[in-house]
Amino acid sequence: MKLKAILFDVDGVLLDSIKYYIRYLKKIVKAMKLEMPSDKEIRFSFGMPWFEGVKKLWPHIDMKKFKKTDKKISSKTLLNLKPFPNAIKSVHEIKKTGIKIGIVTMGNREHVYKKMTRSGYDLELFDCIVTRSDVKRSRPHPDAILLACKKLKIKPKDALYVGDTLLDHESAKRADINYVSVTCGTLTKNELIENKVLNFVKDVSELPKLIKNKKLFFIKKTVSCYVLFNNKLLLLKRSNKVVTYPNKWSVIHGHIEDGETPLQTAVKEIKEETGLKPKLIKQRPSVFKDEKYNIIWETCQFLFESKTDKIKYDWEHDDYKWIDPKEVKKYDTIPNLWKSVDEILKK
């Protein structure tokens, strides 16, 4: 895939601002004598507009009083935020490759322009800037990302969004755009992994080299179908005509096409690859980072039950077997298939 654009969040991505906002919020908490949340609770509230995050931390807060205190303290506080080391240089390097660059943030437009300019960024460098002021709905809705893609005249699938919060990740998923998180901002590497965000870099300074060496990970949305007959699992051997993992044993897989639901894709793939019309038992989400192909597989797993063991496989496979699920490890399979089988069969 050829990358056509990179969209950047601001706070925690281009600007080293998270620690500042935590200290700033604590000043307001102290002035209003509110219950002090932990740093982690504060960090996990970031990613949404300022006052929405406040409401999340203190659902019954007197918002008028908070805004008054906020204004009073902010007037005494200089917003001299600094960019992360080499961030400005890295943005310039990316721009020189011909990749379009943009900003997508939930900050107020005037505030964003002011702090970005003060920190040393040349806003003329960016091909588009979308803020909270430009859309009706904030994160996790994908509106801001989709608007940026529209302004750049590109498809989300051809772009990458760089964020640092779980709301950034969810917004990217809904927009169907590739996503990478930095670990220098709101969330740590372990916190990202715990929340199944597997594509991450330390900071934006790592991006130019990854782009040059074609080491960026891209997201593929797929389905995997586990079909049972009399408690036996259907395994199919991938032919040497397929691009990924030829001659490996696997279950039924397929890419989710535009306009299709995961279930529609699953039913279609089963029919095309086996001729079966099995009954749906259950489904679950799964994420796998494929180091071999630089792909993040975001997969919807489906468990089906068939009334027959007779199948007609297509060109993608050249053999099949019905096996005891416990014997999956005995076969030369695609990565982590045994683990996926264990997970989908759990009651």
Strand partners, 162: 8, 180
Residue that has been written with the tokens 């908070």 in this structure:
66
Domain 5-15+81-212, CATH among 3.40.50.1000, 1.10.1200.10, 3.40.50.300, 3.20.20.370: 3.40.50.1000
Specify the length of the chain in residues: 347
| Burial bucket for residue 164 (CB in 10 Å: 0-12, 13-18, 19+) | buried
Structural domain spans, the chain: 5-15+81-212, 18-74, 219-345
Per-position pLDDT tens, the chain of length 347: 789 999 999 999 999 999 888 988 899 999 999 999 999 999 988 887 888 889 989 999 999 999 999 888 875 554 678 999 999 999 999 999 999 999 999 988 998 999 999 999 999 999 999 999 999 999 999 999 999 999 999 999 999 999 999 999 999 999 999 999 999 999 999 999 999 999 999 999 999 999 999 899 999 999 999 999 999 999 999 999 998 899 999 999 999 988 899 999 999 999 999 999 999 999 999 999 988 888 999 999 999 999 999 999 889 999 999 999 999 999 999 999 999 999 999 87
295 DSSP assignment: E
pTM to 2 decimals? Answer: 0.83
HEC-encoded secondary structure of 67-122: HHHHHHHHCCCCCCCCECCCHHHHHHHHHHCCCEEEEECCCCHHHHHHHHHHCCCC
The CATH topology of domain 219-345 is Nucleoside Triphosphate Pyrophosphohydrolase (3.90.79)
48 DSSP assignment: B
Residue 23: CB atoms within 10 Å: 10
CA 268 to chain centre: 26
> CA 49 → CA 33, 65, 137, 273, 304, distances in Å?
23, 18, 10, 46, 42
Alpha-carbon torsion (301, 304, 308, 314), positive or negative? negative
Contact 301, 262 (CB under 8 A): no
Which spans in the chain are helix H? Answer: 18-32, 39-45, 50-57, 63-74, 87-96, 109-118, 143-152, 166-175, 189-194, 207-212, 262-274, 337-345
